[in-house]
Amino acid sequence: MTDTPILRHAETDADLKACFAVMQQLRPHLKSVEEFVARVAVQRAQGYRLLGVWENGKPVALAGYRRIDNLIHDRFVYVDDLITDEAGRGKGHGERLLAEIGALGRADGCQRLVLDTALANALAQRFYFRCGLLARGLHFSMDLA
């Protein structure tokens, strides 16, 4: 018998360690679980939270997000990371995570949900359109190192 998937935040180091294998599918530059836990600790000081879909006690999808205030969007929720384990795709986990983050953002007075994706990531863009997100601009960046 399998447990019904539940939504819950990764709050402890043990939770984060359990999330590493899924997050590494999105962020392959993360080389170790220790690096991941340390980087999340830094980001938590900036408001970062990691929400997961947990099935049978293990994370199968993750969304890292934070509330931000700026002059462009006013108060908004920014999704840093969104990934479903390769074996669990197509089960609605990503939509469920985005819907929950949207609800959390609305409850916190956010005006919108914002995320970035690579221009070449057509599959993700199609998914985001299906979820009601619209492309409203381009995100520009420059390497400083």
- CATH code, domain with 121: 3.40.630.30
Tell me the C-alpha distance between 81 and 70, whole Å. 20
Tell me the C-alpha distance between 68 and 138, whole Å. 19
Residue 1 lies in a domain: no
Residue 88 lies in a domain: yes
- Do the bridges between strand 74-84 and strand 112-115 make them parallel or antiparallel, or are there none, so unpaired? parallel
Residue 141 lies in a domain: no
Residue 137 lies in a domain: no
Residue 136 lies in a domain: no
Q: What residues of the chain score a pLDDT lower than 50?
A: 1
Range of the domain at 33: 6-130
Number of domains the chain contains: 1
Residue 44 has a pLDDT of 97
Provide the token pair at 80. Answer: 């840093």
Residue 137 has a pLDDT of 87
Residue 2 has a pLDDT of 58
Residue 139 has a pLDDT of 85
Residue 138 has a pLDDT of 86
